[in-house]
Structures are given as C-alpha cells and as structure tokens.
C-alpha cells in the first residue's frame, strides 16, 4: 500500500486538486490469476481509492500500480471470449467504415487491440490497419491471425514511430483502454501527431454516468485509472485543439460511452453532445459529493452481499461464481469474500483456469465444472454478459439454480 498522503492528487486531466471520495481498501492486481502457492507469495496490494477533480470533475484513481505489473506477457483477458463483444466490435468497425473513413487507402490504428477482435473486421475488408498492444501474449494472438501489431504501450513517441513507418491515420480507435492510461496528455499528443487533418478519434469506455446511476463500483480496479464523462473527455482533448463531435451510449460493459472527436471545426458537432452534457450536469456527475454518496451506497451494497452469502452458507447451500472477471477482484477483496463463501468461479479463459482469484484465493475452474450437478446459486460476476450467459445456462435454472446479481441492488433471480 502506498505510504504517501493518499487523500488527494493533482488531476491527471487539468492539473488542479482532486480530492478522495471513497476508498475500496487494499487491492491486488485485478488480473493476477496465479497458482495458489505463487499467489500466497506475491502479496502485492495498493489502495484502490477514487478522487474527483474540483475543477474538471474527472473521477480517477489516486494510486495506480506501475503499468508493467498489469500489462505483460501473461495478460489474462482476451476480448474474443465473448461472442456478444465480438459482434459488438464488428458493428463498431462497420460504423467507423461507413460513417467516418475518408480518403483513399485510409489507415486505421487501434490501441489496446488485444487479440485483434476489432481489427479483424478491417482486415476482412482489405482496409489498412495496425494494432498497438503492450501485452505480448494477447498481441501474439492477433499476429497469429495476420493482424500487424506493435507490441508497445501507446504514447507520443509510439505515435511518431507509426507516422514514420506507416504515415498518418484516418481513424484512431480504442475500446476499454483510454481509461487505462494515466499519462493521458502523452496519448492526446500522440493522437495529434498521428491523425490526418480530417481524421477521426472514436473510443469507448465504461461511462461514469452509468457507474454512478447503478452503483457499479466493480468498474473500479487497478487498470481503470479514469472513469470518464463527456465533461472530462472534452477537457482532456481541448488542450490539443480537438472537440467532441458526437457521443453514443453503448450497452457494453454495464454501460459505456463512445466518444467521437475531431480537430476543431473539421466536423459537424452532433446534438447528442449538448444533450448528454446537460444530462451529466443534472446528474451532478462532476460533484465530489455525488461520489461520496456513491461510496456510502457501495458500503451498503457490500453489507447486503455479505449478509446474503453468509445466510446461504448457514443454510448449507452450494454457491459458486460465474466468470472470473477483473471486476470481480474489486468485489471479492472489498467485501472480503473467499472460498468459504464462494466454492469456485467458473470461467472459459484457459489462462485463468487452475489458478486462484487475486487476493482472495477462490479456485477458478473451467465451465465443465459448473454442473451437472449444478450448485444452488451462482454469483454473476460477469453481469455485463448477462444476456449471453443466461441464454446458454438455461439448464442451470431448469435444475432449480438461481443467479445472484448485485447491481443496481443485491438480488436473487429468478
């Protein structure tokens, strides 16, 4: 845990003072799924706490582990594990191509390109594309399917390297990665150098508005250093002459926002920008007090989930977890839920199986261990994939199994 004063920081967007709103206590690396003996040796923790900037309102972590601890050759998350997300990225790519790609032989650059799920759609259409992905194992998965990938963290120097080797980009894309990068200024500077004059930036991230509304605090973990809103994104990009030209709400990852930016004056600003900004004002998204209240709601949610799991245990019920998500690391460590309350977590990602959950040591097992015989209850840690999961786990429910949901409220379904 950090020893320095952990109650405030200099806002990573505007440089003004950001004050702590809530702490989720000591947390491990969210994706550090390790064999039990190794997990016991590696007891790294940092304090997961959010602060809100008094000037630009950006919600951000006070402390974040160094990037090489999180992104490396054993990174555990592969985009392609969800069919619904694979479809989502096909649609995202198609929307970029139809709505925003201009000029002859355009180049599309995606950062955080992971296993190449999104870029595969450009490859299939013969559009020039390039990925930037620092986690070598997932980058290799992309290269294995023929997607050119620079194995590196994106920042201004990487952008210059791309320009010198490939020329300027017509589209700069990112999904669930901009919110991972604390040195946002270097990223925006890199985009400024990389993007053609009439190029477009389109990126998606979990949306602060949804997190605040649903109380979905599991979007906060080591990797997610920012919880963006239209307000914070427009501030961060204005410094380099970009403006928000559109914003489109997405149902993915429990509620996301797609931000579309271009150089000032290059494109028409859509009415959605002003409408969503007004909604953010009404929601008081940039107020410190809103996030202190959010913290109090998280405490209540934690008590309810613990009560429910303890009751079920007292009744002798079998409870397992479904999907060993990064998000579940925050829930499990914040609520202090271990193998005494959740027997194991079923997950389809081979690299997670046979390992234990970070900090709480719950075994992760393949889907084949999830019955029959089915457990009595399954905690839906992959709640953002509810539709996809419910559609394929009808036998569990038919056998009398029940799901445990925790957002917006802790509840048992059906």
* Footprint (CB under 6 A) of ligand SAH, residues 395-414: none
Query: In angstroms, what is the minimal distance from the CB of 116 to ligand DWN?
Result: 14
How many H-runs (helices) and E-runs (strands) does the chain carry?
14, 18
Task: Please say which residue, 77 or 262, places its beta carbon nearer to ligand DWN.
Answer: 77
> What is the sign, positive or negative, of the torsion defined by CA atoms of 19, 66, 28, 412?
positive
Asked if residue 201 binds ligand SAH (CB under 6 A), the reply is no
Are 59 and 52 spatial neighbours (Cβ–Cβ below 8 Å)? yes
Are 49 and 63 spatial neighbours (Cβ–Cβ below 8 Å)? yes
Asked if residue 326 binds ligand DWN (CB under 6 A), the reply is yes
Asked if residue 327 binds ligand DWN (CB under 6 A), the reply is yes
- Residue 49 pairs in a beta bridge with 23
Asked if residue 119 binds ligand SAH (CB under 6 A), the reply is no
| Pairing verdict, β 169-175 and 411-413 | unpaired
Among the residue ranges 48-56, 167-175, 261-269, 335-343, the one whose residues contact Zn ion (CB under 5 A)? 48-56
Q: Would you say how long the chain is, in residues?
A: 414
Asked if residue 53 binds Zn ion (CB under 5 A), the reply is yes
Q: Which of 349, 351, 371, 390 binds ligand DWN (CB under 6 A)?
A: 349
Query: In angstroms, what is the minimal distance from the CB of 323 to ligand DWN?
Result: 3
Q: How many CB atoms lie within 10 A of CB 120?
A: 20
Among the residue ranges 130-138, 142-150, 232-240, 349-357, the one whose residues contact ligand SAH (CB under 6 A)? 130-138
Q: Which of 21, 30, 52, 56 binds Zn ion (CB under 5 A)?
A: 56
Binding string to ligand DWN for residues 387 to 406, with x set by CB under 6 A, is what? -xx-----------------
Q: Which of 24, 71, 77, 403 binds ligand DWN (CB under 6 A)?
A: 77
CA 173 to chain centroid, in Å, comes to: 15
Query: In angstroms, what is the minimal distance from the CB of 221 to ligand DWN?
Result: 7
Residue-wise over 206-239: b if at least 16 C-beta within 10 A, else e?
bbbbbbbebbbbbbbbbbbbbbbbbbbbbbbbee
| Pairing verdict, β 107-111 and 59-61 | unpaired
Query: In angstroms, what is the minimal distance from the CB of 129 to ligand DWN?
Result: 19
Task: Please say which residue, 159 or 323, places its beta carbon nearer to ligand DWN.
Answer: 323
Which helix H or strand E contains 256, and what residues bound it?
strand 256-263
Most distant pair of Cα atoms in the chain: their distance: 66
Are 58 and 239 spatial neighbours (Cβ–Cβ below 8 Å)? no
Asked if residue 176 binds ligand SAH (CB under 6 A), the reply is yes
Residue 84's nearest CA partner among 323, 252, 328 is 252
- 245: partner contacted, choices ligand DWN, ligand SAH, Zn ion, none (Cβ within 5-8 A by kind): none
Asked if residue 134 binds ligand SAH (CB under 6 A), the reply is yes
Q: Which of 18, 48, 181, 323 binds ligand SAH (CB under 6 A)?
A: 181
Are 132 and 154 spatial neighbours (Cβ–Cβ below 8 Å)? yes
Backbone angles phi and psi of 354, in degrees to 5 = 80, 0
Among the residue ranges 25-33, 46-54, 170-178, 254-262, the one whose residues contact ligand SAH (CB under 6 A)? 170-178
Among the residue ranges 90-98, 107-115, 259-267, 371-379, the one whose residues contact ligand SAH (CB under 6 A)? 107-115
Residue-wise over 86-119: b if at least 16 C-beta within 10 A, else e?
bebbeebbeebbeebbeeeebbbbbbbbbbbbbb
Asked if residue 138 binds ligand SAH (CB under 6 A), the reply is yes
Q: Could you list the residues that contact Zn ion (CB under 5 A)?
A: 11, 13-14, 53, 55-56, 58
Where along the sequence are the contacts to ligand SAH (CB under 6 A)? 71, 75, 77, 79, 111-112, 114, 132-135, 138, 153-154, 175-177, 180-181
* Contact positions vs ligand DWN (CB under 6 A): 77, 81-82, 176, 223, 323-327, 347-349, 352, 382, 384-385, 388-389
């Amino acid at each position: 845990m950090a020893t320095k004063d952990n109650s405030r920081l200099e806002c990573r967007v505007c440089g003004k003072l950001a004050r702590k709103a809530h702490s989720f206590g000591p947390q491990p690396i969210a994706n550090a799924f390790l064999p039990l003996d190794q997990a016991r040796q590696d007891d790294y923790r940092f304090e997961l706490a959010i602060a809100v900037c008094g000037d630009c309102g950006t919600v951000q972590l006070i402390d974040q582990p160094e990037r090489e601890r999180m992104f490396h050759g054993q990174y555990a998350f592969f985009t392609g594990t969800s069919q619904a997300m694979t479809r989502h990225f096909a649609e995202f790519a198609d929307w970029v191509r139809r709505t925003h790609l201009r000029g002859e032989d355009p180049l599309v650059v995606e950062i955080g390109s992971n296993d190449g799920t999104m870029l595969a759609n450009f490859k299939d259409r013969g559009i020039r594309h390039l990925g930037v992905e620092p986690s070598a194992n997932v980058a290799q998965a992309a290269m294995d399917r023929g997607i050119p990938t620079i194995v590196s963290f994106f920042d201004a120097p990487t952008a210059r390297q791309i320009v010198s080797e490939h020329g300027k980009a017509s589209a700069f894309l990112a999904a669930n990665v901009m919110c991972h990068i604390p040195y946002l200024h270097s990223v925006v500077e890199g985009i400024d150098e990389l993007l053609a004059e009439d190029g477009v930036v389109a990126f998606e991230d979990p949306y602060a508005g949804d997190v605040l509304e649903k109380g979905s605090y599991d979007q906060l973990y080591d990797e997610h250093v920012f919880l963006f809103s239209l307000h914070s994104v427009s501030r961060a990009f204005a410094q380099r002459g970009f403006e928000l030209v559109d914003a489109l709400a997405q149902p993915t990852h429990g509620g996301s926002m797609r931000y579309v930016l271009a150089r000032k004056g290059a494109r028409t600003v859509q009415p959605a920008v002003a409408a969503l900004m007004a909604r953010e004002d009404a929601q008081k998204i940039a107020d410190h007090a809103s996030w202190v209240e959010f913290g109090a709601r998280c405490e209540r949610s934690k008590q309810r989930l613990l009560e429910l799991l303890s009751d079920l245990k007292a009744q002798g019920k079998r409870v397992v977890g479904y999907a060993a998500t990064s998000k579940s690391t925050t829930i499990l460590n914040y609520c202090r839920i271990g193998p005494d309350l959740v027997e194991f977590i079923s997950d389809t990602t081979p690299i997670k199986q046979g390992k234990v959950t970070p900090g709480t040591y719950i075994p992760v097992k393949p889907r084949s261990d999830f019955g029959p015989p089915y457990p009595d209850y399954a905690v839906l840690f992959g709640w953002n994939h509810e539709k996809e999961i419910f559609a394929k786990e009808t036998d569990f429910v038919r056998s009398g199994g029940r799901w445990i949901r925790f957002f917006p409220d802790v509840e048992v379904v059906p």
